[in-house]
Structure 1
Amino acid sequence: MTLPDNFLHIAEFLKSSNTFYTIAIGMDSTYGYVSKSYDVNFSTTSNTLAGQHFSVTLHPDDIAICEKGGAACFNDPDKLISVTLRKHDGRGGYIVTQWDMQAMFDKDGSPLGIFCLGYNITDFVESQDNLKDANLKLDEIHYIQSHEVRKPLANIMGLTEMLLSTNEPQDTATILPKLAQATKELDAIVHRLSN
């Protein structure tokens, strides 16, 4: 596939990029152009992906996302369409990639295909997931602190006040086991929070 000049300049500029992938998908849904970095990262053989169906690198659930993005390119040809797609990592898993794509036309205005510029966002997505998990844990800790910690702490404070205000040995004998129990409850909660 010969790229139109406006896309050819981008492909040439990024041809040795280790960060960005550039590809072009023809109207037959096959790779018409594949940058070296794309082949290195996603080809399952030593050969190029050029000429293969675009779906060979995709997670099966993301094929429809890609098709929908491609259709949107032709519905609004002056606009960049953004999609997030999972690509095979070559080890049985997937990496997450972000793509901007735009329709390509020949000099006569006939559709040629779609030009795509992508990059790996797996680390970013994993960081977001880790932050979500951390926030959930913080919410749980907050709930435990605001609800579960208050009961034994209030008991300890109240029983301590009672001890300080009594001179009766029988009151002290009644209060101390309750104080010990509240202390054990609080200690168990603190241990659970630290795990």
Structure 2
Amino acid sequence: MLNIGENQIILSSKPTILLSLEEKNISVDLGNPLPDWIFNSGLFYVVITDMEGKYLYVNDFFIKKFQSVDTDISNKYFTETIIAEDIEKAIVAATKCIQHPTYAFEVDLRKPIGKGQQTFHSRWVFSLMRNNQNIPIGIFSVGYEINSVSEINDYKIFHNLNIFKILKNSADSCVHLSKKLELEGINKSASKFMGISDENAKDTFKEKLQIKENTPCVDAIISSVNTDKVELFQDHIENLDLYYFGIAIPDKQGVGIIFRDNTREQKAKIRLQESENKLKAILDSTSDCIILINQEFNILAFNKVAFNMCHGIHQNKLVLGKDFREYVSEEIKNDFFENFTIALNGSISKFEQKLTQEDGTHKWLEYVFYPVYDASQQLIGVSKVVKDITESKNQIAKIQAQYEKLKEIAWVQSHEVRSPLANIMGLIEMLKNERSNLKEEEIESLYNNLLLEAEKLDLKIRKITKSTEEHLESDS
């Protein structure tokens, strides 16, 4: 528990900020006090650590990303949850915050996903957090994914945050425009990307904006200003064969635009799409249910069998990009997460489930989890393959039943038949050797015993014959 004046931040199994920022008296140099929305953000990860670096608070977006695969950060230090090579960078950034309490410091960190060897690239802004007596009490960190722009749900939440000031020194390109679309600020990354020098920057930008009229980028900027909503865009500069994506964020003064070159990723997607079309035809021809899930549990691909099976079992349609955990039933939840984690660690795993159908019959499904890698051997997710193994299970049960029947026949042959046969052989031997010494009534008794043992033997042979016939009928 962290006390800030009379207020408290409580860390539980699912941390929750209980009080508004005004009540917390948190002081961080971001131009404006941080609004409450940032703690519930779907774009930024929020972390608060104490002065020793131990976790005190993480927001729900952080939990969803980094605690989804059996990871518990309670009583851990921030440095324990980043790769070893980046620990020194995190310590340096935190130390700078303490030495310069009125400044924020940016640092790129890599965090492991689940228990696997894959890493998540993220950018963080560290600031010193102080109480209302101006005493340092911890490090306040805001981070976001470097590789892609996250989907945002609540658009108006950005109005109280000066995005440009936060990202002014970011490696991401960032510009700020007035409501009249005049350039108010541009960081070094954007200047380099757009080829705009400090001299006559406003005029140069205005010309470039006019040249790109009616493009996705400009349309997103104009729409953001007019509708007061965040707009995502993907654009392409044909003469340079350059792809980039970005986000336009409206604020009280105008609109901030963050964009990033993703030519490499887009060209990879184009090549992937070409191969996907061929692969999809192959996948749709199989009778197995196949679903590709990334490390964040988002659905990347599935075949027709998977779509039909999911709709039949869950009455829910598979949708690309959705969180697959919504489709995991309670009956297999524990097995699913256990085997998914094993696959993330690079091993193949599987389990079976028995289903009772409406007609009372049983259906068996086998779930197999495969780690999936790209061409550079980087883990991109897990392939979940579901096979109907009912026929195989029935065959195994049938073979087991046959085996038990054969064991029964073998027992009768080796034990129950042997006894009367041994008696008969003993009586015959006695008649053969002792006949001359036996009285007539003794000989008659021996013959009667021979007949009795022969009848017993006949019954055992009939039993074996019947079991063998039943066994042969079951085979047919």
Whether TM exceeds 0.5 here: the answer is yes
Q: From the superposition, tell whether residues 163 and 98 of structure 1 become closer, same or farther in structure 2 (CA, over 3 Å).
A: farther
CA deviations on 1:40-88 (whole Å, 9 max, x unpaired) are 34532775244563423x8x2x443332211011222xx4x13143265
Tell me what 1:85 maps to: 352
| Contact kept? 1:101, 1:114, Cα under 8 Å | yes
Matched, 1:96 2:365: yes
| Contact kept? 2:339, 2:369, Cα under 8 Å | no
Relative to structure 2, which stretch is displaced further, 29-38 or 154-163? 29-38
Amino acid corresponding to residue 66 of structure 1 in structure 2: F
Instruction: After TM superposition, list the pairs within 5 Å mapping 1:134-145 onto structure 2.
Output: 134-145=402-413
Please point out which of 304, 328, 353 is paired with 1:55.
Answer: 328
Q: Distance in 2 between matches of 1:147 and 1:18?
A: 51
Tell me what 2:388 maps to: 120
Instruction: After TM superposition, list the pairs within 5 Å mapping 1:16-95 onto structure 2.
Output: 16-27=284-295, 29=297, 33-44=301-312, 48-50=317-319, 51=322, 53-56=326-329, 60=331, 62-76=332-346, 79=347, 81-86=348-353, 88=355, 91=358, 93-95=362-364
Q: From the superposition, tell whether residues 75 and 10 of structure 1 become closer, same or farther in structure 2 (CA, over 3 Å).
A: farther
| Contact kept? 1:104, 1:112, Cα under 8 Å | yes
Relative to structure 2, which stretch is displaced further, 96-105 or 169-178? 96-105
Structure index of larger Rg: 2
Instruction: After TM superposition, list the pairs within 5 Å mapping 1:128-167 onto structure 2.
Output: 128-164=396-432, 166=435
Q: Distance in 1 between matches of 2:414 and 2:286?
A: 49
Give the SS at the match of 1:146. Answer: helix
Amino acid corresponding to residue 132 of structure 1 in structure 2: Q
| Contact kept? 1:41, 1:89, Cα under 8 Å | no
What's the CA shift for 1:126? 2.1
Please point out which of 437, 447, 455 is paired with 1:176.
Answer: 447
Give the SS at the match of 2:336. Answer: helix
RMSD between superposed Cα atoms in Å: 3.6
Q: From the superposition, tell whether residues 38 and 29 of structure 1 become closer, same or farther in structure 2 (CA, over 3 Å).
A: same
Give the SS at the match of 1:114. Answer: strand
The answer to which structure has the higher helix fraction is 1
Give the SS at the match of 1:119. Answer: strand
Tell me what 2:239 maps to: none
Identity %: 21
TM-score (norm: length of structure 1): 0.70
Amino acid corresponding to residue 446 of structure 2 in structure 1: I
What's the CA shift for 1:151? 0.5
What's the CA shift for 1:25? 3.3
TM-score (norm: length of structure 2): 0.33
Amino acid corresponding to residue 162 of structure 1 in structure 2: M
Q: Distance in 1 between matches of 2:409 and 2:397?
A: 18
What's the CA shift for 1:145? 1.2
What's the CA shift for 1:170? 1.8
The answer for unaligned runs of 5 or more in structure 2 is 1-268, 468-476
Q: RCO greater where, 1 or 2, for CA within 8 Å and sep 6 or more?
A: 1
Q: From the superposition, tell whether residues 66 and 192 of structure 1 become closer, same or farther in structure 2 (CA, over 3 Å).
A: farther
Amino acid corresponding to residue 71 of structure 1 in structure 2: T
Q: From the superposition, tell whether residues 98 and 27 of structure 1 become closer, same or farther in structure 2 (CA, over 3 Å).
A: closer
Q: From the superposition, tell whether residues 124 and 132 of structure 1 become closer, same or farther in structure 2 (CA, over 3 Å).
A: same
CA deviations on 1:143-174 (whole Å, 9 max, x unpaired) are 22111210101112222343455265323311
Q: Distance in 1 between matches of 2:337 and 2:394?
A: 25
Q: Distance in 1 between matches of 2:337 and 2:354?
A: 15
Tell me what 2:204 maps to: none
Number of aligned positions between the proteins: 183
Q: From the superposition, tell whether residues 26 and 126 of structure 1 become closer, same or farther in structure 2 (CA, over 3 Å).
A: same
Q: From the superposition, tell whether residues 18 and 113 of structure 1 become closer, same or farther in structure 2 (CA, over 3 Å).
A: closer
